[in-house]
């Protein structure tokens, strides 16, 4: 397997809308395997293909404490969501060392394909619901910081520019 390079905000490629996977084949399974390895290596709980500059609708997630319950979602889509909202502190492998509160639907139902190309649906709450919404946002070209106020976004961009100058 290969550890992939993760794009960092504000890289414009993070705003690319991913295209649907047309066939779940060995190439897609290899991408998912590489993404999984990359996510675990970076100590993340989720990774969207967009974050590794692959603009196809593939997401890998493992929200388990034991880090041994990998879930792969190909062409994931939210087909239902609760009216109730919940605040969660989110972070992102593409925005290192930045965490902030984001309000999202408390529960979602997601439809996707598995590694065999079979359709499945899953009802999610808690961290899995947050994670899938966050990763599907990536596939739609949206980074979690876009859920924050303009003031916070501008502060973050200034902080990143300063870090780049200092390095």
Peptide bond into 10 cis (omega under 30): yes
Distance of CA 106 to the CA centre of its chain: 17
pLDDT in tens, 84-128: 999 999 999 999 888 999 999 999 999 999 999 999 999 999 999
Distance CA 135, CA 104 (A): 13
DSSP-assigned beta bridge partners for residue 58: 74
Given a cut of 80, is residue 133 above it in pLDDT? yes
| Residue 92, annotated as binding a ligand | yes
Residue range 44-51: mean pLDDT, rounded: 98
Q: What is the dihedral of CA 3, 48, 129, 65, to 10 degrees?
A: 0
Alpha-helix runs per DSSP H in 11-149: 26-41, 126-139
Q: What percent of the chain is predicted at pLDDT more than 70?
A: 100
* Domains of the chain, earliest start first: 12-166 (3.90.45.10)
Q: What percent of the chain is predicted at pLDDT more than 90?
A: 83
List 37, 41, 56, 135, catalytic entry: 135
Does the annotation mark 65 as catalytic? no
- Looking at every residue in the chain, the average pLDDT score rounds to 95
pLDDT in tens, 7-33: 998 899 999 999 999 999 999 999 999
Distance of CA 140 to the CA centre of its chain: 10
| Residue 134, annotated as binding a ligand | yes
């Amino acid at each position: 397997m290969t550890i992939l390079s993760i794009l960092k905000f504000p890289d414009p490629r993070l705003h690319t809308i991913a295209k649907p996977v047309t066939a779940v084949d060995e190439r897609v399974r290899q991408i998912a395997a590489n993404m999984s390895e990359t996510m675990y290596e970076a100590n993340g709980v989720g990774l969207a293909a967009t974050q590794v500059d692959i603009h196809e609708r593939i997401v890998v997630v493992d929200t388990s404490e034991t880090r041994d319950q990998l879930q792969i979602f190909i062409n994931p889509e939210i087909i239902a969501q609760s009216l109730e909202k919940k605040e969660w502190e989110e972070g992102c492998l593409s925005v290192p060392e930045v965490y902030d509160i984001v309000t999202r639907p408390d529960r979602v139902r997601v439809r996707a394909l598995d590694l065999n190309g079979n359709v499945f649906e899953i009802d999610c709450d808690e961290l899995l619901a947050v994670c899938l919404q966050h990763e599907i946002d990536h596939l739609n070209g949206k980074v979690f910081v876009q859920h924050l106020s303009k003031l916070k976004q501008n502060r973050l961009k200034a902080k990143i520019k300063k870090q780049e100058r200092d390095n």
